[in-house]
Chain A
Amino acid sequence: EAGVAQSPRYKIIEKRQSVAFWCNPISGHATLYWYQQILGQGPKLLIQFQNNGVVDDSQLPKDRFSAERLKGVDSTLKIQPAKLEDSAVYLCASSESYNEQFFGPGTRLTVL
């Protein structure tokens, strides 16, 4: 079966610019997660969707980050405007109801 797809794989922008990341989960997986992984640290959950509803966005910096999951399938994470400290790998994961998450390859963002 196909895994979690993410694009782009790499992105370099200047601070105050905007950027968007795309994720396509494994077919049939109702739950989708976005994580931020700063170099040398474990992934930090930004937002969790169950179908197209938000389950947890308590750690999402809502003044600059937004995410949506239209039709309960694909998802987009946006940063506007970006700051230097947003430089990280953004990971998307999906799961069925048995709490095993499958991760995509991630998008490495560099903010200059």
Chain B
Amino acid sequence: GNSVTQMEGPVTLSEEAFLTINCTYTATGYPSLFWYVQYPGEGLQLLLKATKADDKGSNKGFEATYRKETTSFHLEKGSVQVSDSAVYFCALSLDNYGQNFVFGPGTRLSVLP
């Protein structure tokens, strides 16, 4: 079946530290990959996405590269801020109509001043 695995949290960093949140996937087809972010008390927001191998998605200083050979889509940011504290979800979709959309369990990030 299709699934997404993320590193367990919580992840606690100091402001300006480097962030990596690992994400690997298993899929029967050739998925599109996403990172969503959920700030406290809010719904999920799309952070970035990549639709084919070697694509790099980027937004708000976050980046992730679609690595087909390692079935990974790790999220990185060079210098985190307190405002980045949130839960981050890796997800995949197997077709252009969003069917078979599967989320990972989420990784909670806390950034300390």
Name the one of A41, A45, A106 contacting B101, with C-beta atoms under 8 angstroms.
A45
Does A21 touch B at the CB level, under 8 Å? Answer: no
Give per-residue flags for A41-69: 1 if the beta carbon is below 8 A from chain B beta carbons, else 0: 11111001010000110000000000000
- Given A41-B106, A42-B103, A42-B106, are A91 and B43 neighbors across the interface (CB < 8 Å)? yes
CA gap between A14 and B106 in the complex, in Å: 29
How far is it, in angstroms, between the C-alpha of A4 and the C-alpha of B43 when the chains are bound? Answer: 10
Establish whether residues B106 and A56, one from each chain, have CB atoms under 8 Å apart when the complex forms: no
B36 contact set on A, CB distance < 8 A: 103
Per the 8 Å Cβ criterion, residues 66-103 of B in contact with A are 89, 91, 93, 95-103
When A and B form their complex, what is the total count of cross-chain residue pairs whose Cβ atoms lie within 8 Å? 60
Q: How many residues of B contact A (CB 8 A)?
A: 25
Q: Are B106 and A99 in contact (CB under 8 A)?
A: no
Q: Does A105 contact B (CB under 8 A)?
A: yes
> Is the pair A99, B43 in contact by a Cβ cutoff of 8 Å?
no
Interface residue A75 (Cβ < 8 Å from any Cβ of B): no
> Contact: A105 with B99, CB < 8 Å?
no
Given contacts A43-B103, A103-B43, 5 further A-B contacts (CB under 8 A): A33-B98, A99-B95, A101-B46, A101-B101, A106-B43
- 8 A-B pairs with the lowest CB-CB distances in the bound complex, closest first: A42-B103, A103-B43, A103-B44, A99-B98, A99-B93, A105-B43, A42-B105, A43-B103
